[in-house]
Structure 1
Amino acid sequence: MADNSEAAKPIPKLPPKQQEVKLVPKIINGGIAGIIGVSVVFPLDLVKTRLQNQVVGPNGEKMYKSMFDCFKKTYNAEGYFGMYKGSAVNILLITPEKAIKLTANDMFRHHLSTGPGQPLPLPREMLAGGSAGACQIVITTPMELLKIQMQDAGRIAAAAKAAGQHIPKVSAWSLTTDLLRKRGILGLYQGTGATALRDVTFSVIYFPLFARLNDLGPKREDGSSVFWCSFLAGCAAGSTAALLVNPFDVIKTRLQAINKAPGEPTYNGVLDCIGKTLKNEGPTAFFKGGACRMIVIAPLFGIAQTVYYLGVAERLMGLK
C-alpha cells in the first residue's frame, strides 16, 4: 500500500505579507496579458461574433459567406476602427477577468494539492480549472454582453438598411445605463447560464491540458517554463478547448444579442436557443465561427500564459 503520510501533512502556508505580495503581481500579469491579447486578436473576435449571430435566410442567403468575406465587408463598410468596436469595454474589463481566471486556478490548485511537490491528479486539475472558470463569470458576463452589442451593431444596421429600416447607434455607456434603468444590475447578466456553461467547460479542458503540454517542454534553472514553451502550450490548449466548447459559445452569443436584425428569431433561454437553432439551421450552426474562435483564443491564451510565466509584473516590481 502506498505511503500516504506525506499527503496527510498540511501544505505550508506563506506568511500573510508574502501571500499578499505574490497575489498583486499575479493580478497585474493577468491584466497585462489580457490587454495585449485583446489588442492583437480583437478584429477576429468581432468577425466571430458576426458569423455566429447571422442566420441563414429561407433561400439560403447569408450576409457573410466566410470568415474572410466577413472581414472584408466589415473593413470596407466600417474602416479600420470599425474592426475594434467594443474593444474599449473588453480592454477595460479584461484585466479583472484574466486576473481572476489565472489567479483563481493557481489558488484552487494550491488548496487541492495532495502534498508539496506532488503532481495534481487529473480530476483535481479539472476541478481547479472549472472552479476558476466559475469565478470569472462575474466579470465575463457583463463584459461579453456589452462587447457583443457593439461588435454586432454594424451587421444589424446593414441588415436593417437593406430592409428599409433604421437602427440608431448606441454606445457601451448608453447601453449600460439603459439596461440598469430598465432591469437593474441583472440586466447586465443576461445569458449568465450560457456563459457559465461555456467558461466552466472551457477551463475544465484548458488548464489540465495546458499544464501537461507545458510540462513536456524544457525548464529554466529555477524550474519555471521557458517562454516559447508556455506560449505554444497556451496556443495549443486554448485552440483545442475553444473548438470543443464552440457550441456553447454560439448559444451564449445569440442569447446575449439584445438587438436583432429583421426576421431573426428571439430565444427564451439555453434550451429554447438549442431547439430553434437545430430546427432552423441544423447541427453545423453550433460550429459557426469555430475556426475564427480558435485563431482568436490560441494567441490570446498563448500571450497570457507567456506573460504570466515570464513574471513581467514581478520584474517591474523588483521582486525578481
Structure 2
Amino acid sequence: MGLTSNASAPKMKQPQEFSLLPKIVNGGIAGIIGVTCVFPLDLVKTRLQNQTVGPDGQKAYSSMLDCFRKTYRAEGYLGMYRGSAVNILLITPEKAIKLAANDFFRHKLTTSDGRLPIQREMLAGGSAGLCQIVVTTPMELLKIQLQDSGRTSGGNKNAPKISALSITKDLLKTKGILGLYKGTGATMLRDVSFSMCYFPLFANLNRLGPKKEPGSNESVFWWSFISGCAAGSFSAFFVNPADVVKTRLQLLNRGASEETYSGILDAYRKIWTKEGPTAFYKGALCRMIVIAPLFGIAQMVYYFGIAEALMGIDKTPSTMLAAKTSENK
C-alpha cells in the first residue's frame, strides 16, 4: 500500500545546488566585456564628480559631452582607458563575489515553504554588497587615481606617468595594507545600498517576463538583459550621492583649491553647503549609462551559459543569477 501510494504521488523537486565555478567564470567574462564597453563613460563620470567650482565660478567641464570631448582631445583614445587595466583585473573576483554571494544568501534566506519575502531579498542583496567591498574598495581607489590623473595634470603630456603598481607600492610603504582601503565606509554605504535595491528589483522584473518554455521559471535572455539594465540604472541613480562622496574621499591627489574631507558626514555637509544638493547627482547620467549595460550584460552572459559550455556542465537555472526568483509571494 505504502509503496503504491508513494509511487502514484507526484515527485517533489529536490532543491538544485548551484555551482560556484561557472559563476566565477561567467561573472568574470561579463565584467571584462562590460568594463571594456563602458569604461570611457566611467572615466567621464569620475572626472565630473571630482570637479569643483573654481573661485571665479567656472567649471572645467560644462557637461558629460564636454568632459568627453576635452578628455579625448587632450589625452587621446588610450587616455579614455586610464585605470582600465586594474579594473579589468579585479572585476572577476568582484563580480564573482557579488553574484555568488547574492545567490548563496537568497538560498539560505528562502523560507521552508519556498517563499522569499522582499525584506529577505533586500537582506540577501545587502549582504552580497557587504562581501564584495574587500575587492571593490582597493579596485575603486586605484581606478579613481588613474582616471583623475589626466584632470589634475591638465592634459600635460610631460607630466610624470603613474600606474596602479606605483600607487599600490607607495600606499603599502607609507600606510600599509589599510592604505588600499581608504574610503571603505563610503564604499560600503554605496555598495550595500545598491545591492539592496538592485537584486530584489532585478528578480521581480525578471519574474514578470516571458519564459523560455511553458512551465519554466527561466526568462528569455533578452528580457533578463532588459531587467538588468532597468534595475541597474534605477539603483545607480538611487545611490549616486553615496558614489559622489566615495569618489571624493578616495581621491589622494588634490589641487590647491580643492576641498578636503575628514569623513563621510563631513563630506556630505561640505558638499551640501558649498555646492548645493545637485552636486550629489554629478555624473549621475554617466553612472546610469555605465551601470545599466554592465548588469544587463551580466544577465545575458549567465543565460548564454558560456562557462557551462566551456566546462561541459549542464546549463540549469540553478547556475544563473536570476535562478532565485520569488515565485511564491
Task: For 2:236 and 2:227, locate their aligned partners in 1 and report how far apart those are by CA, in whole Å.
Answer: 14
Shift in Å, 1:122? 0.2
AA aligned to 2:138 is: P
1:60-92 CA distance string (max 9 Å, x none): 200000000000000000000100000000000
Task: Determine whether 1:32 maps to 2:24.
Answer: no
Structure 2 gap segments, 5+ residues each: 1-12, 315-329
Paired residue for 2:261? 267
Paired residue for 1:120? 116
Q: Post-superposition, which runs of at least 4 consecutive aligned residues in structure 1 deviate over 3 A?
A: 11-14
1:259-281 CA distance string (max 9 Å, x none): 01231011111011111111211
Shift in Å, 1:167? 5.7
Paired residue for 1:210? 202
Shift in Å, 1:168? 3.0
- Secondary structure at the residue paired with 1:108? helix
Task: Determine whether 1:83 maps to 2:80.
Answer: yes
Paired residue for 1:147? 143
Task: For 1:304 and 1:119, locate their aligned partners in 2 and report how far apart those are by CA, in whole Å.
Answer: 25
Task: For 1:297 and 1:23, locate their aligned partners in 2 and report how far apart those are by CA, in whole Å.
Answer: 24
AA aligned to 2:140 is: E
1:131-175 CA distance string (max 9 Å, x none): 00000000000000000000000001118x7xxxx9633111000
Paired residue for 1:223? 217
Task: For 1:69 and 1:175, locate their aligned partners in 2 and report how far apart those are by CA, in whole Å.
Answer: 29
TM-score, with normalisation over the residues of structure 1? 0.90
Matches within 5 A, 1:45-194: 45-115=42-112, 118-158=114-154, 168-194=160-186
Matches within 5 A, 1:195-206: 195-206=187-198
1:220-241 CA distance string (max 9 Å, x none): 2353221101100000000000
Task: For 1:232 and 1:29, locate their aligned partners in 2 and report how far apart those are by CA, in whole Å.
Answer: 18
AA aligned to 2:32 is: I
TM-score, with normalisation over the residues of structure 2? 0.88
Paired residue for 2:321? none
Structure 1 gap segments, 5+ residues each: 1-10
AA aligned to 2:136 is: T
Identity of aligned residues (%): 69
AA aligned to 1:157 is: S
Shift in Å, 1:115? 3.0
- Between Structure 1 and Structure 2, how many residues are aligned? 299
Task: For 1:178 and 1:151, locate their aligned partners in 2 and report how far apart those are by CA, in whole Å.
Answer: 18
1:263-308 CA distance string (max 9 Å, x none): 1011111011111111211111000000110000000100011112
